[in-house]
Amino acid sequence: MKRRDMLKLAAMTAALLTTTALLTTGNAYAQDKKWKIGFSQVTTIEPWRAQFNKDILAEAAKHPEVELIITDGEDKTEKQVADVENLIRQEVDALLVSPKESAGLTGVVQQAIDAKIPVFVLDRNVDTKDYTQFVGGDNALIGRAAGEYAVELLGGKGKAAGNVVEIWGGM
C-alpha cells in the first residue's frame, strides 16, 4: 500500500472510529446527530495533498452522518493556526491536522485537546504528545534506511564511491 493511501485510510478510519464510538452512547440524540469532522490541510497546491483531499471527501461522502470541513492553510503556519481556531469555534467532533510545521501548530492542537476535541495529527508531528493519535512515518528511520541503501548501491560499507544528489521540495 502506498504511503498516501495508508495515510488517507488511517486518517479517515481514526475519525470515523471516534464518531462511531460516540454513536454507541445509546441515546436517541446521538443516533440522529450529524458528526462534524474538521480537516486542517497544510496546502492544496501540492498534487499529493490535493489528491488526499479528493480521496478523503470521497470517503466522507459514503457516510451521510458525517460532515467533513476541509480548510487550506495555504502553506502558511499563521493561516493554518487561524483555520484550526475556527474549527474549534465551530465545535467539530473530531479534528484532523496535517501541520505545516511542528512547533507552529503545537499550541492550537493543545487548544483543541483542551476543548475536548479528539485530534489526529497526520504526516508531520507536533511538539507535544497531548493528542489522540499520530498517523505518519518515522522520518529518522526512513532516512537511515535510505542512506544504508545508497551506501549499498555505491559499493557497500567502507567501499562506497560515487555521488549522491539531494533534491529538495518546498521548504
Ordered by where they begin, the domains of the chain are: 3-140 (3.40.50.2300)
Tell me, what's the pLDDT at 24? 46
Higher pLDDT, 110 or 169: 110
- CA separation, residue 124 to residues 21, 25, 111, 112, 139 (Å): 26, 32, 18, 17, 9
pLDDT for 59 beyond 90 = yes
Averaged pLDDT of the chain: 86
Higher pLDDT, 32 or 134: 134
> DSSP of 63-127, one letter per residue?
-TTEEEEEEE-TT-HHHHHHHHHHHHHTT-SEEEE--S-HHHHHHHHHHHHHTT--EEEESS--S
Looking from the CA of 38 toward its CB, the CA atoms found within 13 Å total 27
pLDDT for 112 beyond 90 = yes
Tell me, what's the pLDDT at 12? 58
pLDDT for 25 beyond 70 = no
CA dihedral 128, 50, 10, 6 (to 10 degrees): -110
pLDDT, average across residues 4-29: 53
Amino acid at 166: E
pTM: 0.73
